[in-house]
Amino acid sequence: MPKIQIETKKMTKYYPTGEGLFAALKDVTLNFTEGEFAGIVGPSGSGKTTLLNVIGSLDTQSEGEVIVLGKEVSKLNAKESAALRSEHIGFIFQTYNLLPVYTVYENVEFPLLLLKMPDAERQKAVMDALDWVGLTDKAKSRPTQLSGGQSQRVAIARAMVKKPQIVLADEPTANLDTENSMNVLETMEKLNKELGTTYIFSTHDAKVIAFIRRKITLVDGRVDSDVIIG
């Protein structure tokens, strides 16, 4: 029986607006188990990114409970939530967000420096991560020398290098063409299967939806449907 890694119970998130409080998420109750490859879909403003924010301990819920890897995120202080992110959660962004002055190798190395991993172990981990995404030959390149697809694969390597338990990816293929999107998705699927990492995407890209094994649809902040695809 796979272990539950993320639990949200009747979770609501309000944002203050000029006219009072706006509920971005309403009574969201979801569980994510180890090794899932799940997508959160829905139109713009449906609450996809807010849900990823809370799961990633970048934000806290207004009501209800959110437990990530056994920790209630709203009870974590800044240091604890930073530690949760740096040790257990990887992030992949739509716009890659690689550090432009550093090489591919150094970009992937950075999360391990934050974890103060010893040199030899770190070097091996970085090369392994680049190998997973098929970019060992680009280790010395700068992000500006890479295509969009290659950049996103570096971002995947950066998210995966510390072998996190959860990877949160916000619209990871939105800036990629079909070929690169497929390539990136295949890479993530392979890593999900080989390393058992849980992947949660926010997306409305049909190509992504074709890859995911669970599809959660949000509409106006509520879970409209939660379907196991395969």
Partner 1 sequence: MFKFLIKGLLRDRSRSIFPILVVIVGVLITVYFVAFMNGFVESMIKQNANLDTGHVKVVTRAYAEVISQKPFDLSLLDITDDMQQWKTRYPQLEWAPRITFGALLDVPDSTGSTLVQGEVAGMAVDLFSSSKEIKRLRLTKALRKGSLPAKSGQVLVSEALFDKLNLKLGQRVTLISSTVFGAMTLRDFEISGTVTFGVQALDRGGVIADISDVRRMLDMQDGASEILGYFTNADYKDKTARNLALDFNKTYSDSTDEYSPIMLTLSQQNDLGAMLNLFDSSLAITLFIFVGLMSIVLWNSGLMNGIRRYGEFGVRLAMGEQKKHLYRWLVMEAAVIGFFGTVIGTGLGLLISMYLQVYGFDMSAYTQNSTLLYDNVIYAHITPSCYYIGFIPGLLAVIAGAMLSGISIYKRKTSQLFKELET
Residue ranges that bind partner 1, judged by CB under 8 A: 49, 52-53, 56, 58-59, 78-79, 81-87, 89, 91, 93-95, 97, 99-102, 106, 110-111, 113-114, 158, 170-171
Instruction: List the one residue out of 188, 128, 117, 125 whose CA is nearest residue 152.
Output: 188
Considering the complex, state which of residue 35 and residue 45 has its C-beta at the smaller distance from partner 1.
45
CB of 230 to partner 1, least distance (A): 28
CB of 172 to partner 1, least distance (A): 11
Q: Which residues contact 87 (CB under 8 A, 6 or more apart)?
A: 115, 162, 164
Residue among 143 and 149 whose Cβ is closer to partner 1: 143
Q: How far is the CB of 113 from partner 1 (least distance, A)?
A: 5
Neighbours of 177 (CB within 10 A): 12
How many whole angstroms separate alpha carbon 24 and alpha carbon 181? 29
CA 191 centroid distance within chain: 13
Between 7 and 93, name the residue whose CB sits nearer to partner 1: 93
Q: Which of 76, 3, 41, 18 is nearest to 171 (CA)?
A: 41
CB of 98 to partner 1, least distance (A): 8
**Cβ closer to partner 1: 49 or 197?**
49
